[in-house]
């Protein structure tokens, strides 16, 4: 089994060596502030985009639909709290538009739209155009959209005559009227209006005149953006380019056009870029490409491509600064954390393997001249260079990684070889030290004999009882008993909790004798379980994040075929790390 380690001794050192302007676009201007909703250009400019050095770079607007289209992903269901947290992440990262959902369609989205949830980004509500047969002012669905705390409304409209007939059951003209009246209603309510033309590319292939009429109805009514949607994701880049060019030639300026691509043929990013090259100036997508079926265009891939690749960076600018771009990897991984799913190691730009190299010839050359092996410097997107630890090249990395934590060990020290062997064995068993810096540090310090035995857990027992109470309703009770020895004295603690792990945690921390006061400010802030190979007999990995009153934050890991045992290991590491940290015996890196 080959494993990529998280050791990256080169960072910092390499950052200073990066030549100016690698990847182009290094002179991106910063955007100090923007009004809530990006304002439409007074005069849509015609003609070709400027060539390099010719005039100002054109602005591309980034539209995130993680909270709306991303919500369609199988297995994903955001709570209001999730949505608030994600909207904040997107807003801070510098997206122009955050589409929050469909107010009126479900209680979560209605509650989410009770307040504006963004500071800088325009907050967008999604919904249908008005129903045929009622006026805009008498449509209750439209009223909910207009009354929501949004800056903008993105309507979804049919643009394929076949869908108008089959799905809406109205005439082509009635559909055009609905688009026009809905856009006008949004503008009258003081909101920016945009229209997602559903199945636009298929509609255009079937009946170009009608598809164009729908786009034009939206544009002529004053929609800021007419968004061309490849709703089923089957269109190819060359087709997207050709059709966008025809739409622009028909008189709708690219400055008012957007692209919404799905990934059913793995081309959502390519299709978005093709549309930009043909003239559109708004791109819709989601974090990590989540979305219905195969997902939407992945903004985490698109953003660095637009900002770092000269083909785009020389011609366009986004609302995201270079500093914000350096938070891209964190954004992507925080989002995966929130979804409780493993980040894709091979994700472009942000994956753990995106800048990984096997040690050997490449690794030593990479250390000298990274730009010969890397298409962009990993620091620009907040990622790290990684070199596998499986041989000699790895040993130097290991030493440097330990040094970062204030641990000195000689290259020929046999304990170092033993530590490397142990880390590799444990990674093969399922330990993930990348997400558990404190457990890695304890492992290294134990190997070097630096971790005192503060206390010893002699035994623990967890019990879960599920029974019917006197009223006949189901009751589940969890209880844990822990026996510890501190200073030669045996202490037994019993606790009840919400589930066996919680009971064990409370019992373990109930009485640690002389150390009790020291862990009073220790708090578990996150607890994550990942099943490594399916089924109830699978190996379980538990990751625990802890913090203390001094602002320290650290993560620990446990692996076992028993979830309680895996949790126990991670809990123990967390407590021991805290005691080490209190004595300034640990924590240079892990508790940063
Ligand atoms: Zn979609």
Give 65-88 pLDDT, tens digit per residue. 999 999 999 889 999 999 999 999
Q: For 108-112, 128-132, 305-309, 423-427, which range has the lowest pLDDT when averaged over its residues?
A: 423-427
**Segments making up each domain of the chain, as ranges:** 58-314, 456-582
389/336: higher pLDDT: 336
Distances in Å between the alpha carbon of 51 and those of 30, 54, 56, 252, 555?
Answer: 22, 5, 10, 22, 49
3-state secondary structure (DSSP) of residue 116: coil
Q: Token pair 């002179």 is at which residue?
A: 27
CA-CA distance, 535 to 531, in Å (whole number)? 8
Distance 461 CA to ligand 1 centre (A): 50
Helix (H) or strand (E) holding 194: strand 192-198
CA-CA distance, 103 to 90, in Å (whole number)? 19
Distance 487 CA to ligand 1 centre (A): 63
Helix runs in 373-499, H state only: 392-404, 414-429, 437-447
3-state secondary structure (DSSP) of residue 377: coil
Could you give the percent of the chain with pLDDT greater than 70?
Answer: 86
Distance 373 CA to ligand 1 centre (A): 36
Distance 436 CA to ligand 1 centre (A): 36
Domain 456-582 CATH superfamily: Alpha-isopropylmalate synthase LeuA, regulatory domain (3.30.160.270)
Strand pairing of 282-285 and 316-317? unpaired
Domain 58-314 CATH superfamily: Aldolase class I (3.20.20.70)
CA-CA distance, 225 to 195, in Å (whole number)? 6
Distance 232 CA to ligand 1 centre (A): 8
pLDDT, tens only, 445-492: 999 888 999 999 999 999 999 999 999 999 999 999 999 999 999 999
Distance 72 CA to ligand 1 centre (A): 9
Q: What is the DSSP string of 71-113?
A: GGSTT----HHHHHHHHHHHHHHT-SEEEEE-BTTBHHHHHHT
pLDDT over 50 at 17, yes or no: no
Distance 59 CA to ligand 1 centre (A): 23
Q: What is residue 10's predicted lDDT score, i.e. its pLDDT?
A: 31
Query: Confidence class of residue 398 from pLDDT cuts 50, 70 and 90?
Result: confident
Helix-strand-coil percent breakdown of the chain, rounded to 5? 40, 20, 40
Distance 70 CA to ligand 1 centre (A): 8
Q: What is residue 53's predicted lDDT score, i.e. its pLDDT?
A: 46
Distance 292 CA to ligand 1 centre (A): 7
pLDDT, tens only, 87-110: 999 999 999 999 999 999 999 999
Distance 501 CA to ligand 1 centre (A): 40
Sheet holding 489-497, edge to edge: 456-468, 474-486, 489-497
- Minimal CA–CA distance to 337: which of 85, 65, 5? 85
| Residue partners of 506: CB distance under 8 A and separation at least 6 | 480, 495, 496, 497
Q: Token pair 């010893």 is at which residue?
A: 456
3-state secondary structure (DSSP) of residue 526: strand
Instruction: Record the pTM.
Output: 0.70
φ/ψ of 283, rounded to 5, equals: -120, 130
φ/ψ of 382, rounded to 5, equals: 75, 15
Distance 99 CA to ligand 1 centre (A): 12
pLDDT over 60 at 30, yes or no: no
Helices (H) and strands (E) in the chain, counts: 20, 18
Distance 230 CA to ligand 1 centre (A): 8
CA-CA distance, 275 to 279, in Å (whole number)? 6
Strand pairing of 97-101 and 58-59? unpaired
pLDDT, tens only, 362-372: 556 666 677 77
Distance 69 CA to ligand 1 centre (A): 6
Q: For 48-52, 170-174, 197-201, which range has the lowest pLDDT when averaged over its residues?
A: 48-52
Distance 558 CA to ligand 1 centre (A): 39
């Amino acid at each position: 089994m080959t494993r990529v380690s998280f050791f990256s001794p080169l960072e910092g050192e390499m950052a200073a060596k990066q030549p100016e302007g690698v990847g182009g676009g290094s002179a991106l201007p910063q955007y100090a502030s923007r009004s809530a909703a990006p304002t439409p250009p007074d005069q849509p400019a015609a003609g070709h985009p400027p060539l390099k050095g010719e005039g100002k770079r054109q602005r591309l607007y980034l539209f995130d639909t993680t909270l709306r289209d991303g919500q369609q992903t199988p297995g994903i269901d955001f709570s209001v709290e999730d949505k608030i947290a994600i909207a904040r992440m997107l807003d801070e990262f510098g997206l122009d538009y955050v589409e929050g959902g469909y107010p009126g369609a479900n209680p979560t989205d209605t509650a989410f739209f009770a307040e504006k949830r963004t500071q800088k980004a325009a907050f967008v509500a999604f919904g249908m155009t008005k129903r045929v047969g009622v006026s805009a002012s008498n449509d209750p669905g439209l009223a909910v959209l207009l009354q929501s705390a949004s800056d903008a409304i993105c309507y979804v409209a049919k643009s394929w005559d076949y869908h108008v007939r089959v799905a809406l059951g109205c005439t082509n003209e009635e559909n055009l009227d609905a688009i026009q009246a809905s856009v006008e209603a949004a503008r009258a309510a003081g909101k920016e209006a945009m229209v997602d033309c559903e199945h636009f590319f298929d509609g255009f292939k079937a009946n170009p005149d009608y598809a164009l009429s729908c786009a034009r109805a939206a544009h002529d009514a004053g929609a800021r953006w007419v968004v061309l949607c490849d709703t089923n994701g089957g269109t190819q880049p060359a087709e997207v380019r050709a059709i966008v060019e025809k739409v622009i030639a028909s008189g709708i300026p690219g400055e008012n056009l957007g692209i919404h691509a799905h990934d059913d043929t793995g081309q959502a990013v390519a299709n978005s870029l093709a549309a930009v090259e043909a003239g559109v100036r708004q791109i819709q997508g989601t974090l990590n490409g989540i979305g219905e079926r195969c997902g939407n265009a992945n903004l985490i891939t698109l953003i660095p491509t637009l900002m770092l690749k000269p083909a785009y960076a020389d011609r366009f600018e986004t609302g995201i600064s270079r500093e914000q771009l350096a938070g891209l990897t964190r954004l992507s991984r925080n989002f995966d954390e929130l979804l409780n799913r493993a980040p894709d190691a091979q994700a472009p730009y942000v994956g753990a393997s995106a800048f990984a190299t096997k040690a050997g010839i490449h690794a030593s050359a990479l250390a000298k001249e990274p730009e010969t092996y890397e298409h962009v410097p990993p620091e620009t997107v907040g990622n790290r260079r990684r070199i596998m630890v499986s041989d000699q090249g790895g040993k130097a990395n290991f030493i440097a990684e330990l040094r970062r934590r204030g641990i000195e060990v000689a290259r020929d020290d046999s304990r170092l070889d033993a530590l490397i062997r142990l880390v590799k064995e444990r990674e093969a068993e399922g330990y993930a030290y990348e997400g558990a810096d404190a457990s890695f540090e304890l492992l290294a310090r134990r190997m070097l004999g630096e971790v005192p035995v503060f206390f010893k857990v002699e035994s623990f027992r967890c019990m879960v009882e599920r029974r019917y109470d006197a009223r006949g309703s189901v009751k589940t009770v969890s209880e844990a008993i822990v026996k510890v020895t501190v200073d030669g004295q045996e202490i037994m603690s019993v606790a009840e909790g919400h589930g066996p792990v919680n009971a064990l945690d409370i019992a373990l921390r109930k009485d640690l004798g002389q150390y009790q006061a020291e862990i009073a400010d220790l708090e578990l802030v996150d607890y994550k379980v990942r099943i490594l190979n399916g089924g109830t007999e699978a190996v379980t990995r538990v990751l625990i994040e802890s913090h203390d009153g001094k602002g320290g934050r650290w993560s620990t890991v446990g692996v076992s075929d028993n979830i309680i045992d895996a949790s126990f290991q991670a809990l123990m590491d967390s407590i021991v790390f805290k005691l080490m940290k209190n004595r300034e015996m640990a924590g240079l890196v892990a508790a940063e």
